Structure 1
């Protein structure tokens, strides 16, 4: 609907009695926001009207077409158009039939018609305004969860990720997301949900690493009153909460083996029983999982069931680390800086050229989350106009952990560093040699010797 309670509301009256038509026109015209047009026949209305009005009132008995046929024709031309039928007939069967055909309201011509029509049009206008508001909110929500809005990045790695997310949103299969901490796994899961057919259903997230092992089963599947000590009432589990929507299980690699078999059965049978209960509850849930672990390796270690692995893997999406999409670092930094200034109503702050270089030289073990934290802190430490290199502070523990987390020989450290830079710059050997200030031949020889 195009109506809005702050704009002109176009009303068309189709009435063959000139005096009665003018009476209704005068009554509705008392509202200055209403633009009311009067037509004496169905033909006159269709000849004159070139665009959809906001509401039409029709007389049931017109000289050239009866009300039922006119209503059907209006429905064909304008499926969403509100139509009010006004008739001298007071037969209930006629009113019911017209309402079944799509009439918004049916009014009998009597001393109350003017007021009833006024109220009916007012309700239609208010509902139109509400629908318009809902449409705007839905559009804003769609824009918010647009893949390229939610996850910033122009690098080839991110473009490939967007393509996989698009496929995931268009299909009903389970999705598994793999990526380092801070790469945005939950954002990806929610974006897939909000762009899928399940977008009007619930999105329920549960971090398996944050749940004590003894409570996992109850959290997932729910429990009945008295199922165990402390179960004072029935509790609905996350699977039931996510019915007709999406369940996102983060860090699924942390799921205890004892629960994995039960999860497998729920996924296979599409039904569950609450802890302590016997009732079988049917489910319609799409599962999206995430982990920073290599689940295939966990299967080899015996810490993750192979049959469950093949059930949850579905469409795999591997999120690139920030090191692997270094061309996005400045884009993200500027976005986070603008976001910070907008949220805290501050004047625009820019990045000094020297700050660009410092941002590009860091390896970001905490990925996008760490970059965002560093940029927000830099905005606070800056002079309020421009972020300088001294304003950018990274957590030293995180940085040291990446390089010195385990003891290695000098040669092993060299291989790690060169491999890191090759990943960061998409295997561009000349650029890596320039950044590390070493000869290209050194890198080529390491590749030839199988060290990289």
Structure 2
């Protein structure tokens, strides 16, 4: 029965007896499908069938092996080719290997076994390469825009438009937005949807690296460059060569290193600490920060020339509170994801829970929403999240309180509730601290405004 997954090997050998021996030998593996040709031209007429591997005799009656190899490469630039020859001249073998043949085997008593092992090795290498290609394609699909940033708001659609523009060129990209808005996810999506997706994506969190180690982490060092440098270290920029380097929290970069980073970006080359060799760079740079870099420049905390070099295409991520019903779309996504990962069965979100979720402002943005939904999924009964299952534990930041749209009465209630909780419901102490009458608090409690 024909094996659809057979490994197709073409043998080009003018010696019929030797060709039949090779065909029989390879046919011992049921996964191999062998097709044999006695002339170069007959083989070339069938090359469109796209074999997985080719063995060619160097001395064919109608074409030398090196010429045949060149013709193969003109038609198929990737198929592995093994040259089998009765010639034992080293120069012939070396020249063919330089041209790119996968192996050179001399016809002798050991040739069959050498060929057998060579085919196994080549097939294993091809399998690994195919797995890498498959994994990278999975990554590209995983980081498609719609799967990276979930939602349907107009604000999000504008971001998709900017991301699409970023994938078409190698322009530097600067991503801004509050903590938890998904800056690294956007950077990955841009990388895996661009022409650089076959290269490496190297993320670096500048805030997580001690200042004295930043330079060596970014640019690498040579053995003996300083005490403790026991060997050469490749820097993050070199690691990202051919791909993308993502510098998160770029505002945290020390001024002393900013000038060196600027030079690397200008010259498109890096020199390891303690070395002289210039390593040429082919990278895409994406930076991110939750701070206002323009204000940092004004405060002389960030170099103006570096600022303009990094700016490139600016992508400003909106906070979750400005994305309307995306909150509910994301909440449903996180609930489904949590249920799938923990084998809980489908989880629904009741209307009162939706109302509670949509009213909240999410100072921690998407990261906070996910934490809230995960906890609610654990606390809920019968796989339905209700308002009682939702707990907000956000940390109020400066100006966040006043940033919420409430009436003066609602703000007053919040302030009194805060101090009552702080004072263990001591009404007299709370009234004294806020300089209001105790009767005011009692009246508001009676009207259930402080519940």
Instruction: Give the structure 2 partner of residue 127 of structure 1.
Output: 125
Q: Which residue of 1 aligns with 2:237?
A: 242
Question: How does 1:141-156 map onto structure 2 within 5 Å?
Answer: 141-156=139-154
Shift of 1:272: 8.0
Mapped to 1, the partners of 2:231 and 2:189 lie a distance apart of 25
Looking at structure 1, the residues matched to 328 and 27 of structure 2 have their Cα atoms a distance apart, in angstroms, of 58
**Structure 1 CA distance for aligned equivalents of residues 266 and 99 of structure 2:** 44
Partner of 1:35: 33
Pair 64,147 (structure 1): closer, same or farther in 2 beyond 3 Å: same
Tell me whether 1:158 sits opposite 2:156 in the alignment: yes
Task: State the partner residue of 1:423.
Answer: none
Aligned to 2:294: 296
Distance in 1 of aligned mates of 2:256 and 2:99: 57
How far is 1:72 from its partner?
2.6
Matched position secondary structure for 1:81: coil
1:371 positional shift: 0.8
Pairwise mapping of residues 277-426 of structure 1 onto structure 2 (< 5 A)? 284=281, 287-300=285-298, 304-383=302-381, 385-395=383-393, 397-398=395-396, 402-404=400-402, 410=408
For structure 1, the 5+ residue unaligned runs are 415-452
* Residue 320 of structure 1, CA deviation: 0.7
Residue equivalent to 2:70: 72
Deviations 1:157-204 (A, max 9, x none): 222212222333444443322211211123223433445566534624
In structure 2, distance between residues paired with 1:412 and 1:261: 50
- Flag structure 2 segments of 5+ consecutive residues without an equivalent: 413-451
Change (3 A) 1:238 1:181: farther
Distance across 2 between alignment mates of 1:385 and 1:123: 52
From the superposition, tell whether residues 371 and 14 of structure 1 become closer, same or farther in structure 2 (CA, over 3 Å).
Answer: same
TM-score normalised to the size of structure 1? 0.74
Could you report, residue by residue, the CA deviation over 1:9-33 in whole angstroms, capped at 9, with x for unpaired residues?
Answer: 1122222332222211111111111
**CA separation of 1:306/1:50 partners in 2, compared to 1, >3 Å: closer, same or farther?**
closer
Change in CA separation of 1:274 and 1:86 when aligned onto 2, cut-off 3 Å: closer
How many residues in Structure 1 have an aligned counterpart in Structure 2?
404
Q: Is the 8 A contact 1:222 1:236 kept in 2?
A: no
CA 1:338–1:294: 2 relative to 1, 3 Å: same
Between 343-352 and 260-269, report the one with greater CA deviation.
260-269
- Contact (CA 8 Å) 1:157, 1:325: kept in 2 or not? yes
Contact 1:58–1:85 (Cα < 8 Å) also in 2? yes
Contact 1:352–1:386 (Cα < 8 Å) also in 2: yes
Deviations 1:320-366 (A, max 9, x none): 11122123222212221222223333323233344333322222221
Cα separation, 1, equivalents of 2:32 and 2:347? 48
| Pair 1:401–1:374, CA change in 2 (3 A) | farther
User: Cα–Cα, structure 1 residues 370 and 85, in superposed 2: closer, same or farther, change >3 Å?
Assistant: same
What is the distance in 1 between the residues matched to 2:26 and 2:133?
A: 27
Give the Å deviation of 1:370. Answer: 1.1
